Amino acid sequence: MHRISVNGTRISCVDTGKGAPLLLLHGLGGSHDDWRLQIPEFAARYRVIVPDLRGFGASERREPFTIQRHARDMMALLSALELERVHVVGLSMGGAVAIELALRAPQTVASLVLVNTAPGFTLTNWQRRRMAWLRVLVALVLGVGGVARLFAQGVFPARSQGRLRRRFIRRASHTSRWVYLATLRSLTRWNAESRLHLIRAPALIIGAEHDFTTSEEKRRWCARIRGARFIEISGSHHHTELDSPGRFNRVVLSHLATLND
């Protein structure tokens, strides 16, 4: 792990492999560990950059924890690494950061892969409001580990996924309650739906069959990004990169290979 000072905070990141640079962005409460089943395979073909976003993993806990700040952090990180153009893969909240990065620095983003995410997390319906308030209440009472325990069975429901559930809960238990709640608050105020048409990077949207939002919903906003494609991973849940790593890796690498042809 490298620690690089950007925008007044120290960001930890994995930097491995050789080739065209590929930036992997984790979700809320996650870290570079979310990508442990991708890093070795991707690094065989690409230079893989995997940061812990500010406040998460081994990165410094320094406010603000907004999507806009995360995107600016990534711009500064890439500049510090002297990378002018990168492919970007974003999971869940990391997808929001990837979208914001593509809008703020279009010359930097060679392509986008957006995984189980959305172009806006504002609380526009009762399902979103219920999930947000449930997360807040559980985090306040039981910490981020409690939130992970609440959702672990739904995210990794198979009996064979016990090890994934336990690691998911253990990792989340190390996340600061303060950072989690501040990030969740800012995430639910972020919305880029009206700006999707401005994205010029080739985009692939990956949706799990059993994600928190439906494939139909993802197809609707995918259509607003010029030339974007949508792929559903059958049988998968929110952490497709962990529950279906073989299929996920093939889809991402195939997409990137097409761009390099």
* pLDDT tens-digit series, residues 132-156: 999 999 999 999 999 999 999 999 9
pLDDT at 42: 98
- Alpha carbon distance 252, 201 (integer Å): 15
- The pLDDT, as a whole number, for residue 186 is 95
When mean pLDDT is compared across 18-32, 65-79, 122-136, 156-170, the lowest value belongs to 122-136
Average pLDDT, the chain: 96
Query: Sorting pLDDT into bands at 50, 70 and 90, what band is 126?
Result: confident
Q: pLDDT (tens digit, 9 = 90+) per residue, 81-95?
A: 999 999 999 999 999
Q: What pLDDT is stored for residue 259 in this prediction?
A: 86
Calculate mean pLDDT across residues 8-23: 96
Q: What is the 3-state secondary structure (H, E, C) of the chain?
A: CEEEEECCEEEEEEEECCCCEEEEECCCCCCHHHHCCCHHHHHCCCEEEEECCCCCCCCCCCCCCCHHHHHHHHHHHHHHCCCCCEEEEEECHHHHHHHHHHHHCCCCEEEEEEECCCCECCCCCHHHHHHHHHHHHHHHHHHHHHHHHHHHHHHCCCHHHHHHHHHHHHHHHCCCHHHHHHHHHHHCCCECHHHHHHCCCCEEEEEECCCCCCHHHHHHHHCCCCCCEEEEECCCCCCHHHHCHHHHHHHHHHHHHHHHC
- Whether this prediction's pTM lies above 0.85 is answered by yes
Q: How far apart are CA 41 and CA 239, in angstroms?
A: 18
Which tens digits make up the pLDDT trace of 200-255? 999 999 999 999 999 999 999 999 999 999 999 999 999 999 999 999 999 999 99
What is the residue whose two structure tokens read 């991708």? 38
Write the single-letter amino acid at 63.
Answer: E
The predicted structure's pLDDT at residue 128: 86
CA distance 252 to 35: 13
pLDDT of the residue at 124 = 86
Arithmetic mean of pLDDT, 50-79:
97
For residue 100, give every residue at least 6 positions away whose Cβ sits within 8 Å of its Cβ, in sequence order, or none.
Answer: 67, 68, 70, 71, 190, 192
Residue range 2-121+191-260 in CATH 3.40.50.300: no
Per-residue pLDDT at 20: 96
Q: Tell me the per-residue pLDDT of 159-180, one tens digit each, with 9 for 90 and over.
A: 999 999 999 999 999 999 999 9
pLDDT band of residue 106 (cuts 50, 70, 90) is very high
